[in-house]
Structure 1
Amino acid sequence: MPKLVRRFLRNPGAVVGLVLLLALAFLALFGPLFAQDPLEQNLLQRLKPPSPEHPLGTDQLGRDVWSRVVHGARISLAVGFGVVFLASFLGTAVGLLAGGLGGAWDNLLMRLTDVFFAFPSLILAMAIAAALGPNLTNTVLAVALVTWPVYARLVRAQVLALREREFVEAARALGAGQGRILLRHLLPNALTPVLVQASYEVGAAILTAAGLSFIGFGAQPPTPEWGAMVAETRNYMAEAPWAATAPAVGILLTVLAFNLLGDGLRDVLDPRGR
C-alpha cells in the first residue's frame, strides 16, 4: 500500500469524511432511481410525518421530502464542484501569471485580487447573483467569482518560492521559454496547496450557495436544492420540523465530510506535517 494512502488511513477524521463523501456520492448518483418525482404534489398528503411510504415525511405541498433531499444531493454536489472548478482554474491562472511574470503584472493582478478581498464574500456574491439573475447557473458563477482570489494568493506564494529553485534555473539555462517554465515546471509543483484548498472549498461553496438560495438569490422554487428547501419549509417548523431538518442535515453532513477530507489531505500532502 502506498505510503501516502497509509498516512491518510491513519487519520480517523479523514476516513470518516471519505466514507461520508462516498455515501453522498452514491446517494446523488443512484438515489433518484429509488425516489419519487421531487416535484409531484399531493395536497391531501401535505405535512405528513415520516412513514414507510414517505421515509422523511412530506412538505407543505405534499411532496416527498426524501425524494427532494436525494435529488438535492445531486444538485448541491454539482454546484460545489462547479464552483471549485471555475474558481480554482481562474485563481490558479492569475496566481501563476502574477508570481511567474512578476513586476508590473504582479502588481496589477494582485491589486485586482485585493479588490475582491475588500468585500465580504457573501455580500459580494449576493450582489453578483442579483445582477445576473437568481438561478443555479448564476449562483455558481457568483460564488466562483468571490472565491478565486484565495487560489490566486496560494499559487502566487508557491510560484514565488519555486521560481528561483535549481530546477527552474536549469530549465532557463537549457533555453526553456517563460511559458514552458510556467506550465511545465512551476504549475505542477504549485498544485498541492490548491488541491487541499479545493477540498475545503467544495463544502464552503455548497454552504454559500445554499445560503444564497435561502435568501432568494440562488435556486428558485420548486427546484429541490437544499437551501431553497429550507427556505420554503421554515415557516412550518412547529408542525412539520422534518421538512426543514432533512435538507439542513444534508448540508451539515456534506460540509462536514469535505472539511474532514480536507484535514486528511492537508496532513498527508503537507511536507512540514510529515
Structure 2
Amino acid sequence: MAAVVSTNRPARPLRRFLRNPGGLIGLFLLVLLVLVALLAPLIAPDPISQNIAQRLQPPSVEHWLGTDQLGRDVWARVAHGAGISLRVGFGVVILAVLLGVLVGLLAGTLGGAWDNLLMRLTDIFFAFPSLILAMAIAAALGPNLNNTIIAVALVSWPIYARLVRANVLALREREFVEAARALGAPQSRLMLRHLLPNTLTPVFVQASFDVGGAILTAAGLSFIGFGAQPPTPEWGAMVSETRSYIAEAIWAPTAPAIGILLTVLAFNLLGDALRDVLDPRGRD
C-alpha cells in the first residue's frame, strides 16, 4: 500500500501567521506604507514647494495635515517621506546582512586565526554605543542620506556576524556537512551550498526587526543634523525643522513623528510574527 504523503506542511507557517493578530496588523501597516510611498507622486503635491502666505495653516480640505513654517504641505512631505524611510530601512538592512553574513560565514567555517581575527573585529564594533558610532561615521562621511545608510549599516552588521557564526559552528560537525567534506567538497561549496542556506532563518527574523530600527536610527541622525538635509522630506529632518513651532502648529512635527511610530511598530509586529512562524517548536 502506497504511503500517504502529507501536503499541508507548507501551509502550517501561513496558518500560524494568519492566527497572529499582531502580524496581521503589522502587515496591514506595511502594505499601507508601501502604497503611500508608491502613490505619493499621484496623491500628494510637491513636497518642497513653498507658499509663505499659507505658513502654519491647520489641517483643512486643501492641506490635509496642514502646512509647516515655510508653507509646505505637511501631507505631501509625509507621503514622500514614506518612500525615503523605506529606502533607508531596507538599504541599511541589505548592506548589514551582506557584510555580517560574509564575516560570520568565514569566521565559523575557517575557524582558527581567521575566526579569532574576525570576531575581535566584531567585538570592536560592539564596544561602542551604536548611535554614537553611527554619528561619528556619518560626520566623517558627510551629512546626506546615502552616507546615513552607510553609517547605520556599518554599526548594524555585527549582530548578523554573530548569528551566522553561531549557527555555522553548530552545523559544521553535522553529518551532511561531514559527508560533503569526505567527498572532497571545497570550502566554498561547503559554505554556499550546505552551511549558508541553513543559517538564514534567524537572519531573516533579525532583519525584520532591524528595518524599523534602522529607520528610527536614521531619523535620529537626521534630527540632529547628521542625516538627510533640508529640503529633503525625511521624517526625522521634518521633526527637527518644525519642533520649534510645536506650540502653534502641533501638526507639523506630530505628523512625521506618527509616521516613524507606525512604521517601526509595523516592522516590530511583523518581526514577532515571523519569529513565531519560523520557530521550529511551533505547533498547530
TM-score with structure 2 setting the length:
0.95
Residue by residue over 1:51-98, the C-alpha shift from the partner in whole angstroms, topping out at 9 and shown as x without a partner, is 000000000000000000000000010000000000000000000000
Structure 2 counterparts to residues 117-132 of structure 1, below 5 A: 117-132=126-141
The amino acid of 2:111's aligned partner reads: G
How far is 1:32 from its partner? Answer: 2.4
Structure 1 distance, partners of 2:203, 2:79, is: 30
Match of 1:27 in 2: 36
Residue by residue over 1:172-224, the C-alpha shift from the partner in whole angstroms, topping out at 9 and shown as x without a partner, is 12221111000000000000000000000000000000000000000001100
Structure 1 distance, partners of 2:179, 2:42, is: 56
Residue by residue over 1:2-46, the C-alpha shift from the partner in whole angstroms, topping out at 9 and shown as x without a partner, is 111111111110111011101101111112211100000000000
Match of 1:142 in 2: 151
Match of 1:216 in 2: 225
SS of the aligned residue for 1:191 comes to helix
SS of the aligned residue for 1:158 comes to helix
Match of 1:184 in 2: 193
Structure 2 distance, partners of 1:32, 1:213, is: 23
Match of 2:165 in 1: 156
Match of 2:3 in 1: none
The amino acid of 2:145's aligned partner reads: L
Structure 1 distance, partners of 2:281, 2:130, is: 30
Match of 2:53 in 1: 44
State yes or no: 1:272 paired with 2:257.
no
Structure 2 counterparts to residues 242-261 of structure 1, below 5 A: 242-261=251-270
Structure 1, unaligned runs of 5 or more:
none
TM-score with structure 1 setting the length:
0.99
Structure 2 distance, partners of 1:117, 1:188, is: 26
State yes or no: 1:170 paired with 2:179.
yes
Please report the RMSD computed on the Cα atoms of aligned residues, expressed in angstroms.
Answer: 0.8
Which of 39, 62, 65 is the equivalent residue of 1:53? 62
How far is 1:151 from its partner? Answer: 0.4
State yes or no: 1:104 paired with 2:113.
yes
State yes or no: 1:88 paired with 2:97.
yes
SS of the aligned residue for 1:210 comes to helix
Structure 2 distance, partners of 1:9, 1:20, is: 15
Match of 1:74 in 2: 83
Match of 1:9 in 2: 18
Structure 1 runs (4+) greater than 3 angstroms displaced: none
Structure 2 distance, partners of 1:272, 1:156, is: 22
Residue by residue over 1:77-131, the C-alpha shift from the partner in whole angstroms, topping out at 9 and shown as x without a partner, is 0000000000000000000000011110000000000000000000000000000
The sequence identity of aligned pairs, in percent, is: 79
Larger Rg: 2
Structure 2, unaligned runs of 5 or more:
1-7
How far is 1:272 from its partner? Answer: 3.1
SS of the aligned residue for 2:71 comes to coil
Structure 2 distance, partners of 1:218, 1:268, is: 35
Structure 2 distance, partners of 1:202, 1:171, is: 36
